[in-house]
Amino acid sequence: MFAMDSYHLEGTLGKSTIYMQFDDYTKDYPKDEPRITDVRYFYASSLKDIPMEGKREGMKFTFYFDLDGQTFKEKFVLTKDQSGKFTGTWTGINGKQFPVILHKINVETITNKYDHVKSVKQLKKSNPFEYVRTSKFSFVTDSASNFEGQQFRWISEVHSYAYGFYLDSTFSIKTLQIVNPVLEEILFEESMNELTCTSDWEYNTGGGIEMSVDFHYLDQNLFSFSIFHYWSCGGPHDDFGKSCYLLDLNNGKNYSLEEILSFDSSIVIYDEEGTNFQAFSDYRSNFLAPHLIQLLLDQLLIYPDVSEEEDLCMNLCNLPESWTYPDWEFTKEGISFGPSVARYARVCETDSYLLPFSVLEKWKVGTFPYAFPVTP
């Protein structure tokens, strides 16, 4: 395990306030290997990460965006003194140069009106660089919408393209107090993801995430929705994925699939720390995936013995690995499942297959506190 020094800095670039972070492995790495990683900085006015490469020679640090091995878009040349202060210059591609002064971020001097948000509170201890970013978040109400007779308020973060929603006044005060903090956590996660999503491949665009939100189910107890993401955060290929939620309006709990359906007594509910991942993965591979495939076959949603030449996506739907970590959406009619497949066939992930609650009732977890909806 390599020893690492993580730097979280604040200061000025010319007249602009900036924040920078990077990891320094100099202590343990051989002299001929890279030692500075994860170099990023953002302006206080924009909050969007600008990724860079880094190197170190003694107390001299050079951070740069290298375009073709010979020219650069921008470059920092900084010297660290005995107190931990960094001073030097920033140079742009046009040759303009500005002085830079950076020092360690002191979180105790930062006023953050979002300290009540759980993830923000954790950042104050673990990552001052990200904590100071959240302190500058600004949210505005965009619009309102209705779903199943209830009203929702849509919110966006002004520095990013991220947005989210809150339950609005048609819900009880108790429900608002329970569920909106959960939705706020999701909104903060979306905002942070957008501002830290960067692409070295297209410097000017900086990378980004497109998102869309869909509501699937709402009654007096449960609320189901999903967020679809399409992102370009580095590397030669864009990617996409979906986050699915089933919230309990009575306590704010977000149910996992294993808390709703069980296909074997060995069922494992994945913990946030990932300490039981192997057991969780074993259950998913050995029981969830085979049972889902059989149910889909029984309902004639997929078919056996389909060759790849006939239908690539349908062929993949016969493979257990496609159903080990499926997307799922709780709807009025049943649970809609989507496969998770290799990158070359990601288009197949746009397909979904509805299993009615009448079929799934046999596998319902006894401790799930609500009856499945009855389809007329």
Is residue 166 in some structural domain?
A: no
Number of domains in the chain: 2
Question: Are residue 178 and residue 285 in the same domain, yes or no?
Answer: yes
Give Rg (Cα) of the chain.
24
Is residue 141 in some structural domain?
A: no
Q: How far is CA 82 from CA 18, 35, 104, 147, 188, in A?
A: 22, 20, 13, 60, 37
For 42, half-sphere exposure in the C-beta direction (CA atoms, 13 angstrom radius) is: 22
pLDDT cut 90: percent of the chain above it:
64
What pLDDT was estimated at residue 135? Answer: 97
98: domain CATH number is 2.40.128
Provide the whole-model pTM: 0.89
pLDDT at 149 over 80: yes
Asked if 41 contacts 52 with a C-beta cutoff of 8 angstroms, the reply is yes
Residue that is last in its domain, among 83, 104, 125: 104
Phi, psi of 277 (to 5 degrees): -60, -40
Q: What would the pLDDT profile of 246-303 be if each residue is shown by its tens digit?
A: 999 999 999 999 999 999 988 888 887 778 889 999 999 999 999 999 999 999 887 7
Question: Are residue 212 and residue 335 in the same domain, yes or no?
Answer: yes
Q: What would the pLDDT profile of 178-192 be if each residue is shown by its tens digit?
A: 999 999 999 999 999
